[in-house]
Amino acid sequence: MGYDVLIKNGALIDGTGTAARHGSVAITDGKIIEVGEIDGPANQVIDAEGTVVAPGFIDPHTHYDAQICWDGAVTPSSWHGVTSVVVGNCGVGIAPCKLESREIAMRDLVLSLIHLAFLAPLTPFRHYVMGTESLERAATPKETRDIQALLGEAMDVGAFGFSSTILNQHLGFQGRPLACRNASRNELKAYANVLKSRGKGAIEVALTRQIGVLEEEQCELLDFLLDHSGRPVTFIALFDRDDISEAVRDTLRRAAPMIKKGARPQTSPLPLTREINMRNPFSFAAFPSWKRLFEDTSEQAQIAIYKDRAFRDQFREELKNPLAFGNWERITLHEAQTNPLKHLEGLTVAEIAGAQGKDAVDTFLDIVVADNLSCEFTMASFNTRVDRMAELLNDPSILIGLGDGGAHVDMLCDCGYPTYLLGTWVRERGVLSIEQAVRRLTSDPADFFGISDRGRLQPGLAADIVIFDPDTIGSGNRGERRYDLPGGGKRMVMPSRGVQYTLVNGDVVYAGGQIVGSGSGQILRA
């Protein structure tokens, strides 16, 4: 009897970090049967000569909870060799609705291309028990016990742990804090104990109120969660920022005792690039001079302010104290509507200012006014320093992720980070080996979350496999615009290069740049 699938003659990178070796992978009934020098009949043979065969990538932080209800293909992550995504991140999610109908709701809604691993997000759990009061206060002891019991049920049916947030900007219904932000220490202890008593699961928490900066109180919370759960805790967001030059190193120093206990900060290999729309310039909202732009938001008023010499002078003054702004080399003219400006597309404000011999503030605002506010700029705010990123990406305590494929889809898209890591950081910049990069995308997150049957090329494990060309694998460093949300809404996506095949449970779901499968994914259970 033949194999279902035989992937022949690839460079096998098994996900453990050991050196690539030439060989083949045989698959039957959705599982890897043999790895090595194999021949024999198979229903489907994939010639992998000249390419890398690796375990499918596991994305730890995605926020696809809502998107999976209409996009079973889980794009754009599924274009990048990702075969499992963790959802229910940062304390937000759509379940539980009613516990008994949750499985049915999920099955009704989702026929997923790739696997879904659920964290139990605390916000809907608190809502479920406390109603709208969850938005206002801590739970009573009785409510805490009820939430704890629900969380226990979720863990017993396979949740991979729970998630929460303490970030000020995580607002929900009517601009009020997300319900999980009101969880008291007694509550958090009770919820962490659910994991401790079962000896499984992990916690994910959006922790750093200032990006990349771990404050004393946050250190203490991290330690509290580690002690009361006895389980690993991953926290976001560890982004390098050039306005607080040592923030990331300070955070790692401060977190060191907790890292020893199982804490894992998360970072992304990508610079964080967002779009700036000059009609809604919230990227500059931290500058006092820009307050006027949000008071009268008519085009006329905004143009008048952008032209105003006093406004420009005040902004120039404020820029001496940069406020997470970076500098003009980080701001690029992405798209202009008026023809005379088109030739400047793709250039940074610093480059244009240099060429025109003008001050950067004037250069920037002159373009905005000349284009009648229609131009779009992009701003790369974090993870832009190559030397510092090389340091972070080689730090084994850091969990690589933060793709956020299903979050803030109108502004930015980083979910191509697996192919970006392999293309930009491995091939072009040579800061880590391909074997280590693959390990960080596969067995590392699998082990962290306890996804025990995936993440390695090993007989007996599920046949989640990506086959890619090491000479072309990659993606751009920022998203591209598409209008493909339900109702034609805008989102940012990130196309991939060099991914030749992706297999999920032994089925080819992506080949030749196209999604070719449908429902091979399953709901993973811890």
Q: Which residues bind Zn ion (CB under 5 A)?
A: 89-90
Computed from CA positions of residues 135, 140, 145, 146, in that sequence, does the dihedral angle turn out positive or negative? negative
Cβ atoms of 482 and 410 within 8 Å: the answer is no
272-277 vs 233-236, strand pairing mode? unpaired
Closer CB to Zn ion, residue 172 or residue 470? 172
Minimum CB separation of residue 382 from Zn ion in Å reads: 15
Minimum CB separation of residue 205 from Zn ion in Å reads: 10
Minimum CB separation of residue 521 from Zn ion in Å reads: 21
Minimum CB separation of residue 164 from Zn ion in Å reads: 10
What string of DSSP letters covers 69-135?
A: GT-TT-TTGGGGTEEEEEESGGG--S--SSHHHHHHHHHHH---SSEEEE-EEHHHHHHHHHGGGGG
Minimum CB separation of residue 159 from Zn ion in Å reads: 17
Q: How far apart are CA 215 and CA 225, in angstroms?
A: 16
Minimum CB separation of residue 57 from Zn ion in Å reads: 18
Closer CB to Zn ion, residue 48 or residue 236? 236
Mark 299-313 as b/e (b = at least 16 C-beta within 10 Å): eeebbebbeeeebbe
Please give the DSSP secondary-structure letter assigned to residue 426.
Answer: I
Cβ atoms of 333 and 276 within 8 Å: the answer is no
Minimum CB separation of residue 180 from Zn ion in Å reads: 12
Encoded tokens for 525: 């259970």
Closer CB to Zn ion, residue 237 or residue 360? 237
Q: Write the CB contacts of 166 (distance below 8 Å, at least 6 apart in sequence).
A: 181, 205, 206, 207, 209, 218, 221
What are the backbone angles phi and psi of residue 180, rounded to the nearest 5°?
-70, -20
Minimum CB separation of residue 101 from Zn ion in Å reads: 26
Closer CB to Zn ion, residue 65 or residue 242? 65
CB atoms under 10 Å from CB of 97, counted, come to 12
Provide the phi-psi class of 18: left if phi over 0, else alpha when psi is between -120 and 50, else beta. Answer: beta
Closer CB to Zn ion, residue 165 or residue 500? 165
Closer CB to Zn ion, residue 90 or residue 110? 90
Closer CB to Zn ion, residue 90 or residue 365? 90
Closer CB to Zn ion, residue 89 or residue 424? 89
The residue nearest Zn ion at its CB is: 90
Distance from CA of residue 306 to its chain's centroid? 34
